[in-house]
Amino acid sequence: MSAAASTVPVTAAVPASEGRIGLRANLRHIGALARRNALQIKQDPESMFDVLLMPIVFTLLFVYVFGGAISGKGNQDAYVGYLVPGLMAMMGMNIAMAVGTGINDDFRKGVMDRFRTMPIARSSVLIAKIVVETGRMLIAITILLAMGFLLGMQVETSVLGLLAAVGLSVVFGASLMWIFILLGLTMKTAQAVQGVAMLVLMPLQFGSSIFAPTESMPGWLETFTDYNPLSNLADAARALVSGGPAAHSVWTTLAWAVGITLVTAPLAVRRFRNKT
């Protein structure tokens, strides 16, 4: 660990038992650990390449590869308004995957050995990681929207609708981070985490309404997309930005986010305690 990161005050005058750590101390630990993670990013700016470049590359690639085929040659502008809200879901899922590999890498480098000796709540380490990665997600979505506006996307509803779409994407993306944290704590190497994550990500991303309407898909695949949470998120974001019925998709996405968090967060914290 670098000298700058090691100076972050993560200790507090509290007993070593996590059960006796109060809420105020826990929040202080989360803030200190989040600052430590942010300092790591500052010292390794290359770790932001995925956040800065992925939205640009994906938007240009899919608009000019799929846009003509779906909306007709020369009508890529119409496809931008369909694609960009859907890509918010993709941004969150890809960044969530990086959380799992980062947690696994921290164990390999021995960072967690230092945390083991500190009187901090084990959950604060994971929550701080999610806080920083949520910030990275917001940056990625901001760049994605900027690209969308440059390519002709228009907000047909209101600024509040756009902000609601961003907020919904962030909430769902944060819930997915718990899945990948659990995966990172379970797999032996970061490469294994990435490999398993890609096996999960690819069917969910391309078997959804992110890139194309589902009406032309085979019946069995269309049924899969109906239950795919990424389809619900993409449809909700699209309705909030471009107009249309949004309530069902929004509430379904929120239900998925709450359910995923309630199931995987306790499992991830318990796994983390056992490893530390």
CA dihedral 86→90→93→97, nearest 10 degrees, is: 180
- Among candidate residues 97, 83, 110, the one with its CA nearest the CA of residue 241: 83
- Among candidate residues 105, 122, 104, 111, the one with its CA nearest the CA of residue 30: 122
The helices-and-strands tally (H runs, E runs) of the chain is 11, 0
In the prediction, which pLDDT does 166 show?
94
Half-sphere exposure of residue 58: CA atoms within 13 angstroms, side-chain side: 25
> Residue 9 domain-assigned?
no
In the prediction, which pLDDT does 5 show?
42
Give yes or no for residue 183 having a pLDDT over 80. yes
Residues 83, 63: contact at Cβ < 8 Å? yes
In the prediction, which pLDDT does 73 show?
64
How high is the mean pLDDT of the chain? 82
> Residue 266 domain-assigned?
yes
The count of domains in the chain is: 1
**Containing domain of residue 150, as a range?**
22-275
Give yes or no for residue 228 having a pLDDT over 60. yes
The band of 235, judged by pLDDT with boundaries at 50, 70 and 90, is very high
Give yes or no for residue 172 having a pLDDT over 70. yes
